[in-house]
Amino acid sequence: MTHLSLFSGIGGIDLAAHWAGFETVQFVERDPFCQKVLAKNFPGVPIHDDITTFSGLPFRGVTLVSGGFPCQDVSGAGKRVGVVEGTRSGLYRELLRVTREVGAQFVLMENVYGLITGGGLFTVLADLADMGMDAQWVRLRASDIKLPHTRDRIFIVAYPSGVSGFYLHQNIHSQQKSDCKGGYEWSPTTVRVYAPTLGRTFRVLAGLCRGHYGIPRELDCSKNADRLRALGNAVVPQQAYPILKAIAEMCA
């Protein structure tokens, strides 16, 4: 089973895909720091730096395409203009374009809960339907897998119309019960951080504890602003793993 990773970040979905038995054959990621992390932890896998110039045609027949497309325009912290063309969140259309070029059996898309509250979810589902794909979606929080933070996310699984026997919610439930893959490393402590631009304080986890984000310590490599930003944008692998395991079982 092969996997094409778009909007890869530091490889949260890709780590979960590896656990589930997929071989990642290509990354598409523009951020230089994230590229370094991917190159370190997935040696030999090529990285393309621009989704708009990437062609999926050389990857015809790949089993799975995944992507956590940009959330800036649907997030509650952003302007909430939706997944319209010309916005960063509108780049999900590039994910759909690559999916058409690849002809993948399955597509996994991830974004923040604002994709629902901002109305973008129905646009994405309609576009998938226009491509001849059925889709199921689920809302999962990091706290659902016993991690001490919310990380509220929407996952969409799409596949060609006519595929039967894939029951996302039942599969997630059974996988969560049988194998959660990893966990956090120690009881959290929190601190209050003041954000001058917002004029308020926030309670956050102290120590930039990697395990609490589902990312092993080996998956990031320096204590700096780039690392913090990358972790903040990362997909928790334990959230994605039950979905990817369910997809893998359908492909077997």
- 184 forms bridges with which residues in the sheet? none
Q: What are the per-10-residue average pLDDT scores of the chain (252 residues)?
A: 96 94 97 94 96 96 93 65 71 92 94 81 88 89 75 89 73 56 42 55 48 55 67 85 90 80
Contact yes or no for 237/181 (Cβ under 8 A) = yes
- pLDDT for position 182: 46
Q: Which of 34, 71, 180, 251 is catalytic?
A: 71
Residue 63, judged by CB atoms within 10 A of its CB (0-12, 13-18, 19+), counts as buried
Q: Is 168 left (phi over 0), alpha (psi -120 to 50) or beta?
A: alpha
Residue 40, judged by CB atoms within 10 A of its CB (0-12, 13-18, 19+), counts as middle
Sheet containing strand 47-48, edge to edge, reads 47-48, 23-28, 2-6, 64-67, 106-112, 153-160, 133-140
Which amino acid makes up residue 52? T
Three-class secondary structure assignment of 113-180: CHHHHCCHHHHHHHHHHHCCEEEEEEEECHHHHCCCCCCCEEEEEEEECCCCCCCHHHHHHHHHHHCC
CA dihedral sign, ordered 192, 195, 198, 199? positive
- pLDDT for position 188: 41
Whether pTM > 0.85 for this model: the answer is no
- pLDDT for position 195: 54
250/148 Cα distance (integer angstroms): 31
Q: 71 catalytic, yes or no?
A: yes
- Domains of the chain and any CATH numbers: 2-180+237-251 (3.40.50.150)
